[in-house]
Amino acid sequence: MTTPSTPLLELSTLWIQVTGTWCNLTCTHCLNSSGPHNPWLKSLDTEMVTRYIKEGADLGIKEIYYTGGEPFLHKDMLLLIAHALEVVPTTVLTNGILITDQVADHLAALAQNSPYSLQIRISIDDVDPDKNDRIRGKGAFAKAVRALELLHNRGLLPILTATEILRDELPEGRGMYEQFRDLLLGLGITKPRVKIMPVLPTGRMEREGGPLLTPEMLQGFDFSLLQCSETRVVAEGGVYACPILAGLPGARLSAKSLKEALKPCDLYHTACVVCYETGMTCKN
111-115 contacts at long range (C-beta below 8 A, 24 or more positions apart): 111/85, 111/156, 113/85, 114/85, 114/86
Q: Should residue 7 be labelled a site residue for other proteins when binding is judged by CB under 8 A?
A: no
Q: Which stretch binds other proteins (CB under 8 A): 75-83, 95-103, 151-159, 165-173?
A: 151-159
Could you tell me how many residues of this chain bind other proteins (CB under 8 A)? 30
Q: Tell me the residue type at 23.
A: C
Q: Should residue 188 be labelled a site residue for other proteins when binding is judged by CB under 8 A?
A: no
Quick check: bond before 69 cis, omega within 30?
A: yes
Q: Which is nearer to other proteins, 98 or 108 (CB)?
A: 108
The residues, any chain, with a CB within 8 Å of residue 63's CB and separated by 6 or more, are 12, 13, 14, 88, 89, 90, 91, 283
Fill in the per-residue mask, 16 to 55: x = in contact with other proteins (CB under 8 A), - = not in contact.
----------------------------------------
CB atoms within 10 A of CB 216: 7
Q: Should residue 62 be labelled a site residue for other proteins when binding is judged by CB under 8 A?
A: yes
- Please pick, from the candidates 3, 10, 82, 179, the single residue that binds other proteins as defined by CB under 8 A: 10
Q: Rounded distance, CA 72 to CA 66, Å?
A: 10
CA–centroid distance for 203 within its chain: 14
Q: Which is nearer to other proteins, 88 or 165 (CB)?
A: 88
- Please pick, from the candidates 29, 79, 83, 89, the single residue that binds other proteins as defined by CB under 8 A: 89
> Which of the 8 DSSP states describes residue 283?
-
Q: Should residue 132 be labelled a site residue for other proteins when binding is judged by CB under 8 A?
A: no
Q: Which residues bind other proteins (CB under 8 A)?
A: 10, 12, 56-63, 87-89, 111, 115-119, 155-157, 175, 177, 191, 193-195, 224, 281
